[in-house]
Amino acid sequence: MKILVLLADGFEEIEAITVIDVLRRAGIEVDSVGLTGGWVTGSHNIKVMADKKISEVDIEKYDGIVLPGGSKGVENLLKSSKVKEFLEKANEKNKLIAAICAAPLVLAKYHILDKRRATIYPGMEKEIPYPRDEKVVVDENVITSQAPGTALLFALAIVEKLLGKEKVSEIKKQLVV
């Protein structure tokens, strides 16, 4: 199992790091991938060294893709033709696609949410076709979540989708959730 977490300048740190940490604890291989280069600066000026650059990545080698939010990060994701290409290929092959906070907006722009229920940062509900007022929504291969405060629930939903409830129970016990 191999997951790609896209990091664009302005990403929400809690959302990205929580997902990377929880997935790795679950035994899932995770690559953090920067849009522009090695160092990526989060929305709260925390610099993170990405494992890879987007130009070095073949989406075919991954089982899924995760988009952290952060308004500037989402703006930067939307500017990347590679992000669009990756999401379209992942969706065609029914791979996991997960987005949190404002990032479901990216999925909506690329028509991934056209026939799916989803959630998004409170106040942005008009940006997605079938909004739900839930912390985490799973609809087929797509998982969405609302905000930094829901990052752990979001990460656990990804683990459950990929590895099942038993693995989630194990991780919750480790984390004392």
For residue 37, the model assigns a pLDDT of: 75
CA separation for the pair 28, 164 (Å, rounded): 12
- The model's pTM is 0.97
For residue 54, the model assigns a pLDDT of: 96
Supply 84's token pair.
Answer: 């669009």
For residue 36, the model assigns a pLDDT of: 86
Question: What radius of gyration, in Å, describes the C-alpha atoms of the chain?
Answer: 14
Residue 32 CA: distances (Å) to CA of 24, 46, 128, 148? 11, 15, 26, 18
For residue 94, the model assigns a pLDDT of: 97
Closest to 79 measured CA to CA, from 156, 8, 164: 8
Find all residues with CB under 8 Å of 156, minimum gap 6, and list them.
22, 168, 171, 172, 177
Which residues of the chain, if any, have pLDDT below 50? Answer: none
Question: Which amino acid does the sequence have at 3?
Answer: I
Supply 14's token pair.
Answer: 């809690």
Task: Report which secondary-structure segment, H or E, holds 48.
Answer: strand 47-49
Closest to 65 measured CA to CA, from 162, 136, 152: 162
For residue 157, the model assigns a pLDDT of: 98
Structural domains in the chain, CATH included, are 2-175 (3.40.50.880)
Question: Which amino acid does the sequence have at 150?
Answer: T
Residues involved in catalysis: 101
